[in-house]
């Protein structure tokens, strides 16, 4: 292939130097990755072979700036592998992941390079460095140690093998999950539509049409699965769909993830022990606010104790309603939970989530969420069709700061499709940094799987989807407000159990009347969302909150059970899982189901020994938002303080230092318990 015309290797003439997605073809990735590695190797050689004594500038900063091309190419490729993949890209990933892993190891295990880093680390007067420089030096030194720089030659060889094997296994885990999700469909007969709302029927008919079929088809993608579980009156079909969802990657086919799970867990343990840690969690948590496993368990157990009594009461209440409707012999099962919970919510609060959808038309919600950022931070958003995008579904925006200067590019990708993995996430195509050319601004992306427009109806979101949007947009603000010198300390490059604070704090606005009134208008009549409907939303905001908390705690306990092991795992994945989270389970157990084999967060997504972060950050966000509530939820001084001390600082200082600078105190769990109505 002629590399002269590879858009990944040529200067971008696009606005703000954005990715020339319109020019990139699948065959461009591999040569660009190989070229990126080649140039990176030359840059590393130049650092090692210089005759000058090692200094912060010629070694640490030079290393920080090396690999720019490789970073850019692998970022685009990695992002699209999640958002717009195909078989060809997955085949490239299978080939390139071991090579990229080897390339990374060649750098972190390079003895001459580490000798220079260690010399700088040992001889530099840290007090003479600024806070950012101190953090960069510490991170660089620690990063090399954690990547095996101090190991013996034999151990280094094994470290390389482990890294290469893990890179392939995590990729395969995710691919299997995506393929299992895409392979399943439930075709509904005309007499199986009872209870399903119009929005779901439209969507199921559209899915059938897209697949070239008649009737209605339900899939395992969230916007399809969730409404069916909530509203279908056909219990046997709910059970069928629930079991399909919760047995993904357990079947006797090429997408089974059981062996992959065992290998990943054992490789992570072996890597940790090679580096002198007892468990994989010990290795992970030394670079977290939680610091050690006992602090994580302390949080999980505190919350379990606080929420479990209420969670059991919530289940009893749903069970009682189900018996009232179905008879005394009725036994509530997991596939009944969403259905009867929804019925109870309607009964208690006169709140039907489907009745809310017409007030959450996607374009209005976008206006509301962007408007919130304008109100809090003074920033503005301008759609720009000149900026190339990777799929017609994606919209690109220029973001401007309150003084009118350019702040960031934001890509928004809202709807499910076959090439996109499930869930919602924020990522970046370019991070922020400062150099001799000025402040290089970031290109941020939010990716969701929201209800699609269907027929003559626009995309009408559920209240849960509005929450998800606010959450991912909080991450986006963290990326867009980044204002640091070094890219590796910029934006969301913070401790993993701090990264959810900016996202979760935004969810608090979802039930604030003053926020909802800015955008929640009926898509046909233009009428504002009725005041009493907002009140019902507020009243219902803690509905089954303890059940939801225990669900999250069960995931955290499962995660910790896998990664606090001191011995390799040889047992049965299913039964180990059931045992691990048993104390947080409040519904009957189904033998065949297995979460671990599709739990991408902890197996393939960077949350191994880190899933507790969601609850950890919830404690932080409840405490932080209480300051907004005290001073006024749109208070620009509080917002600017949050921007200045948290959102713009990235990983330049310890998160607790940044948090206390904003909040004036360390957080406790009381604000969360009060918000959830557990503490009065």
Residue range 375-401: mean pLDDT, rounded: 98
Does 99 share its domain with 200?
A: no
Which burial class, exposed, middle or buried, applies to 93 when counting CB atoms under 10 A from its CB (0-12, 13-18, 19+)?
buried
Report pLDDT digits (tens) over 516-547: 999 999 999 999 999 999 999 999 999 999 99
Structure tokens at 75: 């970022």
d(CA 524, CA 274): 62
d(CA 326, CA 607): 41
d(CA 389, CA 375): 28
Q: Give 680's pLDDT tier (boundaries 50, 70, 90).
A: confident
Report pLDDT digits (tens) over 610-652: 999 999 999 999 999 999 999 999 999 999 999 999 999 999 9
Does 218 share its domain with 76?
A: no
Between CA 377 and CA 383, with CA 380 as vertex, the angle to 5 degrees is: 150
d(CA 528, CA 546): 31
The pTM of this model reads 0.93
Q: Which letter does DSSP use for residue 86 in this model?
A: -
**pLDDT score for 605:** 86
429: nearest Cα among 24, 75, 78? 75
**pLDDT score for 11:** 85
Does 379 share its domain with 421?
A: yes
Question: Domain for residue 505, yes or no?
Answer: yes
**pLDDT score for 422:** 87
**pLDDT score for 21:** 97
Domain count, the chain: 3
Report pLDDT digits (tens) over 194-206: 999 999 999 999 9
227: nearest Cα among 42, 379, 451? 451
CA distances from residue 612 to 286, 293, 491, 550 in whole angstroms, order as listed: 15, 10, 21, 12
Residue range 24-31: mean pLDDT, rounded: 97
- Determine contact, residues 39/69, Cβ cutoff 8 Å: yes
Question: Domain for residue 319, yes or no?
Answer: no
- Does 249 have pLDDT greater than 60? yes
Q: How many Cβ atoms are within 10 Å of 521's Cβ, its own excluded?
A: 19
Q: Which of 125, 150, 175 is the last residue of a domain?
A: 150
Report pLDDT digits (tens) over 340-369: 999 999 999 999 889 999 999 999 999 999
- Determine contact, residues 269/568, Cβ cutoff 8 Å: yes
As annotated, the active-site residues are: 472
**pLDDT score for 486:** 98
- Residue 642 sits at φ, ψ, to 5 deg, of -65, -40
Report pLDDT digits (tens) over 548-574: 999 999 999 999 999 999 999 999 999
**pLDDT score for 4:** 61
Does 123 share its domain with 220?
A: no
Q: Give 3's pLDDT tier (boundaries 50, 70, 90).
A: very low
Report pLDDT digits (tens) over 656-667: 999 999 999 999
- Does 504 have pLDDT greater than 80? yes
Helix (H) or strand (E) holding 638: helix 636-642
d(CA 245, CA 221): 9
- Determine contact, residues 277/609, Cβ cutoff 8 Å: no
Q: Give 465's pLDDT tier (boundaries 50, 70, 90).
A: very high
Does 386 share its domain with 487?
A: yes
Rounded to the nearest integer, the mean pLDDT of the chain is: 96
Q: Which of 494, 511, 540 is the last residue of a domain?
A: 540
Does 392 share its domain with 494?
A: yes
- Determine contact, residues 265/565, Cβ cutoff 8 Å: yes
Question: Domain for residue 434, yes or no?
Answer: yes
Does 9 share its domain with 139?
A: yes
Residue range 33-62: mean pLDDT, rounded: 98
Q: How many CA atoms lie within 13 A of 469 on its CB side?
A: 27
Question: Domain for residue 510, yes or no?
Answer: yes
Question: Domain for residue 674, yes or no?
Answer: no
Does 369 share its domain with 498?
A: yes
Does 135 share its domain with 213?
A: no
Residue 497 in 3-state DSSP? coil
Report pLDDT digits (tens) over 591-609: 999 999 999 999 998 899 9
Does 528 share its domain with 380?
A: yes
d(CA 389, CA 374): 24
d(CA 159, CA 458): 52
Q: Which domain holds residue 86?
A: 3-150
- Does 250 have pLDDT greater than 80? yes
- Does 2 have pLDDT greater than 80? no
- Does 454 have pLDDT greater than 90? no
Question: Domain for residue 138, yes or no?
Answer: yes
User: Please, what is the angle between helix 573-580 and helix 258-274, to 10°?
Assistant: 70
Does 416 share its domain with 525?
A: yes
CATH number at residue 414: 1.10.1370.40
- Does 33 have pLDDT greater than 50? yes
Question: Domain for residue 353, yes or no?
Answer: no
Report pLDDT digits (tens) over 255-295: 999 999 999 999 999 999 999 999 999 999 999 999 999 99
Q: What percent of the chain has pLDDT over 70?
A: 99
- The sign of the torsion formed by the CA atoms of 224, 227, 230, 236 equals negative
Q: Give 1's pLDDT tier (boundaries 50, 70, 90).
A: very low
Question: Domain for residue 276, yes or no?
Answer: no
Q: Which of 484, 516, 540 is the last residue of a domain?
A: 540
Does 190 share its domain with 143?
A: no
Q: 11-20, 31-40, 112-121, 278-287 — which is least confidently predicted?
A: 11-20
């Amino acid at each position: 292939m002629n590399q002269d015309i590879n858009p990944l290797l040529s200067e971008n003439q696009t606005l703000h130097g954005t990715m020339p997605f319109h020019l990139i073809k699948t065959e461009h990735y591999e040569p660009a990755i190989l070229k990126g590695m080649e140039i990176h190797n030359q840059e590393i050689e130049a650092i090692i072979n210089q005759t000058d004594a090692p200094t912060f500038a010629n070694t640490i900063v030079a290393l920080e700036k090396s690999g720019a091309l490789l970073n850019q190419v692998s970022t685009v490729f990695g992002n699209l592998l999640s958002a717009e993949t195909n078989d060809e890209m997955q085949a490239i990933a299978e080939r390139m992941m071991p090579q990229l892993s080897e390339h990374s190891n060649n750098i972190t295990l390079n003895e001459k390079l580490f000798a220079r880093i260690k010399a700088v680390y040992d001889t530099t007067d840290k007090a003479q460095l600024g806070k950012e420089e101190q953090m960069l030096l510490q991170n660089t030194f620690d990063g090399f140690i954690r990547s095996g720089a101090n190991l013996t030659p034999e151990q280094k060889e094994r470290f390389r093998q482990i890294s290469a094997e893990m890179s392939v296994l995590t990729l395969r885990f995710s691919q299997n999950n995506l393929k299992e999700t895409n392979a399943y469909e439930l075709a509904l007969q005309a007499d199986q539509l009872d209870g399903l709302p119009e929005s779901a029927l439209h969507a199921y008919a559209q899915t059938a049409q897209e697949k070239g079929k008649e009737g209605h088809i339900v899939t395992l993608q969230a916007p399809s699965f969730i409404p069916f579980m909530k509203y279908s009156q056909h219990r046997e079909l709910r059970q069928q769909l629930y079991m399909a969802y919760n047995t993904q990657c357990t079947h006797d086919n090429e997408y089974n993830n059981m062996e992959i799970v065992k290998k990943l867990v054992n490789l992570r343990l072996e890597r940790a022990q090679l580096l002198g840690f007892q468990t994989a969690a010990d290795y992970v948590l030394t670079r977290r606010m939680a610091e050690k496993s006992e602090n994580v368990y302390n949080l999980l157990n505190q919350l379990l104790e606080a929420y479990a009594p209420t969670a059991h009461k919530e289940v009893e209440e749903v069970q009682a309603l189900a018996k009232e409707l179905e008879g005394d012999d009725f036994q509530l099962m997991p596939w009944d939970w969403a259905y009867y919970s929804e019925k109870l919510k309607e009964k208690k609060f006169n709140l039907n989530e489907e009745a809310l959808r017409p007030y959450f038309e996607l374009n209005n919600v976008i206006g509301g969420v962007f408007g919130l950022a304008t109100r809090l931070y003074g920033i503005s958003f301008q759609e720009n069709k000149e900026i190339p995008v990777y799929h017609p579904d994606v919209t690109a925006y220029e973001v401007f700061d309150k003084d009118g200067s350019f702040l960031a590019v934001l890509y928004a990708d809202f709807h499910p499709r076959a090439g996109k993995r499930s869930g919602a996430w924020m990522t970046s195509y370019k991070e922020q940094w400062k150099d001799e050319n000025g402040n290089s601004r970031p290109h941020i992306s939010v990716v969701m799987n929201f209800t699609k427009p269907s027929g003559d109806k626009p995309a009408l979101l559920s209240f849960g989807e509005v929450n998800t949007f606010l959450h991912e947009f909080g991450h986006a603000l963290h990326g867009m407000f980044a204002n640091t010198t070094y890219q590796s300390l910029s934006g969301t490059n913070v401790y993993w159990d701090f990264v959810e604070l900016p996202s979760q704090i935004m969810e608090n606005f979802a039930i604030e009347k003053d926020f909802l009134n800015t955008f929640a208008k009926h898509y046909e009549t233009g009428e504002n969302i009725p005041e009493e409907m907002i009140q019902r939303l507020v009243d219902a905001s803690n509905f089954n909150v303890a059940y939801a908390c225990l669900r999250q705690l069960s995931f955290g306990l499962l995660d910790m059970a896998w990664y606090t092991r001191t011995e390799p795992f040889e047992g049965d994945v299913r039964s180990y899982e059931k045992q691990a989270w048993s104390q947080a389970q409040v519904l009957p157990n189904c033998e065949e189901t297995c979460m671990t084999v599709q739990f991408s967060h902890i197996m393939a997504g960077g949350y191994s020994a880190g899933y507790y972060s969601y609850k950890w950050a919830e404690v932080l966000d409840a405490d932080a938002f209480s300051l907004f509530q005290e001073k006024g939820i749109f208070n620009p001084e509080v917002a600017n303080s949050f921007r200045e001390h948290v959102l713009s600082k990235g990983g330049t200082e310890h998160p607790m230092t940044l948090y206390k600078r904003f909040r004036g105190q360390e957080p406790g769990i009381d604000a969360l318990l009060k918000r959830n109505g557990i503490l009065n």
